Amino acid sequence: MPYPTTEDLPLLLRARLPYHAQEIYRAAFNHAWENYSRCTRDRREGMAQRVAWAAVKTRYYKDGDHWVEHA
């Protein structure tokens, strides 16, 4: 299911990602959700999650328990 706002993202994700990374995740997830509309719901959600994480990782990397923006 798409996320209308960053406040609608899962709590764990909001707790771990910086706000800008949350915005990236949400936008990529929502876009992928629309693009994979022909897939089953479970596959669609899984694909959207993978796309969203890949988008986050283009700008951020995980350093221990924190996500840090690439320099």
Domain spans, the chain = 14-69
- Residues in the chain, pLDDT under 70: none
Which pLDDT value is given to residue 19?
Answer: 98
- pTM here is 0.94
Which pLDDT value is given to residue 30?
Answer: 98
Residue 69 pairs in a beta bridge with 60
The hierarchical CATH code for the domain 14-69 is: 1.10.1740.70
